[in-house]
Amino acid sequence: MKKLALPARNNEGFLENANDWTPEIATLIASDDSIELDEKHWEIIEFLRLFYKEHEMSPPSNRLFVKSVKEALGDERGNSIYLMQLFPGTPAKTACRIAGLPRPTNCL
């Protein structure tokens, strides 16, 4: 079985072309961060991709990311501890990278 090749990415691991994204690519990008995607991850990834489609941008900061998730998916999922457990480090940045979206503008 041939291994799927990752499309071109920048030095932070974000796709150069968001149209190259597929769920299989997301799984490969997540594995770079030792993240095994499950339904909780996919719920957030799908939320982010919809957010991007509607606003033509990634959530610009972790704070707005958490707030947006809370508004869309409720208090249980829209809190920084939950999101940090799914996407360690800077959740907005990690989740956007896996979702094939541009880097959030205000994330370190």
Interatomic CA distance for residues 38 and 60, integer angstroms: 25
22-35 burial, b at 16+ Cβ within 10 Å, e below that, comes to eeebbeebbeeeeb
Question: Inter-axis angle of helices 39-55 and 91-98, to 10 degrees?
Answer: 90
Indicate which residues carry an active-site annotation. Answer: 107
Q: From the centroid of its chain, how far is CA 22?
A: 13
Contact assessment for residue 79 and residue 71, using Cβ atoms and an 8 Å cutoff: no
